[in-house]
Amino acid sequence: MENITLTVGGMTCMGCVSSVKRVLAAIPGIASAEVTLQPGQATVRYDPAKTSRDSISNAIRDAGYDVA
């Protein structure tokens, strides 16, 4: 398992946080995801054999948020 912390832009409320959590929970290989409105981050624990940092970032972007 690996851990990454991504900076997520465009979240303005707890509904946005919930949306990002749902998107991350749907990705196979993600063991856990913690999303915070301030400072706008997603900390993800994932299995690199099942998913990648790029796939995680793209899923967040597809949901309408920015990833730095």
Which residue spans within the chain are E strands per DSSP? 2-9, 30-36, 41-46, 66-67
Sketch the domain layout of the chain as residue ranges.
2-67
Helix, strand, coil shares of the chain, percent, nearest 5, are: 30, 35, 35
CA–CA dist 65, 6 (Å, integer)? 12
Tracing tokens 């990705």 back to the chain, one arrives at: 27
Tracing tokens 């979240």 back to the chain, one arrives at: 11
Reported CATH class of domain 2-67: alpha beta
| 8-49: pLDDT as tens digits | 999 999 999 999 999 999 999 999 999 999 999 999 999 999
Query: Does the pLDDT of residue 61 top 90, yes or no?
Result: yes
Supply the pLDDT for residue 1: 94
Supply the pLDDT for residue 33: 96
Supply the pLDDT for residue 19: 96
Query: Does the pLDDT of residue 68 top 90, yes or no?
Result: no
